Chain A
């Protein structure tokens, strides 16, 4: 665990400090029965002028052990990991990490200065990034039902075949509408219409390949049962849907697949996970999305510049 630094006492009332480290955790019993203590994360900074109490954050002993997942629900791969863990009753501490507010898992974890710090898994001293690696790790460690990551040689190969193609053709592409419609404007950047159209073309092509090659006449993208592949795919496809691009319109096979996956996962779980992304457009329209702090701008600009 990162070392907690103590800071000098100050003058504010406890619990009112704006310093992220001093906020009281909201305790809620989660569906897994474990209290997911929401940790607010940020670079530890000394709090010179606030807080009469020492700023060492006391965390219940139980919470210092066990699985931690650093997730930002605006992120597609984070949602896939969250849904998977909750659906399978895997106990974990949710460390909500709002990337666009400048939050990130401790700097001690990473040297990369990028937006790609979520999802991150921390299991004792073991730290793991990359959503597909995390999903596979969780499925192995917690021995989840075989269909998620089948042990059959060919069935498993189909999951990996999908994940490989997904990394090239889905990831990066389906996130673009959120960037062009919400995130770029937040920092005053306008993405040219030409790029928006090009992105639509790439999405159309990818959806065609998804339908024809991966789904075909099967119930799910890598076989006849739900797997990690379906989770990854669905949350990516949901991203543009959340900002008003109805990808499923005119694609009945894909729409039917979506219904099957969502029926399997359960609407409560999905609503809980998708709250933030489904509200983002409305919040943006009402100018209620906080402006990302300056330190996040370089990464955001880099990401925007990579939109083809």
Chain B
């Protein structure tokens, strides 16, 4: 059995892994894991990732969790073009810096925006107070501005003149609030231009395919009560 990628394209980091593997023509078997049906909580999946999260990778007898680890593993194993994760120590450090920063900042705000604006009310049937939603969207605004001011600045891509893993991780994160109906690129021409460049570099068809699911998030049918019960505590922990 070759490389298997356990993914749900509803998840930001799964989209980054998917796009990266497809773009670089890395052969893999897609193993879908439906988060909204709680499939990540199954015993079978726990064999692949005891942390019960996606994305997860299985390469022969080797299993691996965490999107950044997976992206770097694929980068090194399949010897992709240098610009994704440069050999140059300083250029590489820039990518590492972004990949470290995003965990508790952009990823967190984008996730909260999606859940507070759409998934709680639509999928879980739990209303979110206007104050909480406003605070979440305000925080999103701040982190998107930080992305522009501290990373993008006046460069073509986040870490230099070429697209890297940083851009892929960032763009897939930003598509979360876009899927929730937030206009993150509005009033931000530099960021909007960067978005176009990233999409062009990845390929519009691949980009669209990877984002079909998230763009339909607001049409999610309500959760089955048993599933909701299982998911609620995990969702609450996830968005803290």
Contact = CB atoms under 8 A, between A and B. Distances in A.
Interface of A: 110-112, 126, 128-134, 136-137, 140-141, 153-154, 156-158, 160-161, 163-165, 167-168, 171-172, 202, 209, 212-213, 308
Contact of A161 (B64, B92, B146): B64
Interface stretch (B17-25, B95-103, B174-182, B217-225): B95-103
Contacts of B68: 160, 163-164
A112 B150 contact: yes
Interface in B79-112: 89-90, 92-94, 96-97, 99-101, 103-104
A226 to B, nearest CB: 19
B200 to A, nearest CB: 28
A133 B85 CA distance: 13
Contacts of B51: 165, 209, 213
Nearest to B87: A140
Interface of B: 50-51, 62, 64-70, 72-73, 76-77, 89-90, 92-94, 96-97, 99-101, 103-104, 146, 149-150, 237, 240
A130 B97 contact: yes
17 contacts: A112-B149, A126-B90, A126-B93, A128-B94, A128-B97, A129-B97, A133-B96, A133-B97, A136-B92, A137-B90, A156-B76, A157-B70, A160-B68, A160-B69, A160-B73, A165-B51, A308-B240
A153 B77 contact: yes
A14 B101 CA distance: 42
Contacts of A141: 89
A172 B94 CA distance: 22
Contact of A213 (B50, B76, B99, B150): B50
Contacts of B70: 157
Nearest to A124: B90
Contacts of A160: 66, 68-69, 72-73
A212 B52 CA distance: 13
Contacts of A168: 103-104
Nearest to B139: A306
Contact of A140 (B77, B92, B101, B150): B92
Contacts of B67: 164
A111 B142 CA distance: 13
A213 B65 CA distance: 11
B72 A156 contact: yes
Given A112-B146, A140-B89, A165-B65, A130 B96 contact: yes
The residue among B67, B70, B96 with the most chain A CB atoms within 10 A of its own CB is B96
Contacts of A163: 66, 68-69, 100
Contacts of B76: 153, 156
Given A130-B97, A164-B66, A213-B51, A157 B73 contact: yes
Contacts of B103: 164, 167-168, 171
Given A153-B76, A212-B50, A137 B104 contact: no
A193 to B, nearest CB: 17
A96 B77 CA distance: 40
A137 B89 contact: yes
B57 to A, nearest CB: 9
